[in-house]
Amino acid sequence: MTGASYVLLAAVAVSAIFPREVAALAMCFLAFGDPVAGISGRYLRAGKVCYPRALAADALCLGTCLVLGLVLRWMGLSVDIMDIVAGSLGATLGQAVPLRLNDNLLMPLLAGAAICLFRL
């Protein structure tokens, strides 16, 4: 399976499991946070800019997700600030944890789960 296959599987899964606004936010975190982490991780590795490059890439992923969540909230998505924070942390955790499961599937699932757990 390719990365796109996991994105499709993630989109179907989060759409079936979570409320619409949570699924939309989780998939947006994947669409923006994962590429930022990947590109910055490659750049930092190639230029040897900083030693803990994985931490820097994860921090950029988290920052991207937070800013994106705030922009989407400003545009009318009905999510709270704490939903954005919890989802951003979940997405970053899904991107950062080195599991055999593809991060394209793990990121939105963990983001959605974090938001829904926080809402309890």
- Predicted pLDDT of residue 103: 87
Mean pLDDT of the chain: 89
pLDDT tens for each residue of 48-60: 555 555 788 889 9
Inter-helix orientation angle 81-96/20-47, to 10°? 50
Dihedral (CA of 60, 61, 66, 67) sign? positive
Q: Which two tokens stand for residue 24?
A: 């939309």
- pTM score of the predicted model: 0.87
Say which residue, 19 or 97, is predicted with more confidence. 19
Structural domains counted in the chain:
1
Task: Please give the Cα distance from 7 to 107 (Å, whole number).
Answer: 10
At 52 the pLDDT is 59
DSSP-H helix ranges across 18-102: 20-47, 53-74, 81-96
Per-residue CA distances from 45 to 36, 57, 61, 98 (Å):
14, 10, 16, 17
- Please state, for a pLDDT cut of 70, what percent of the chain lies above it: 92
Give the model confidence (pLDDT) of 105-120 as tens digits.
Answer: 999 999 999 999 998 8
Which structural domain, as residue segments, surrounds residue 55? Answer: 3-119
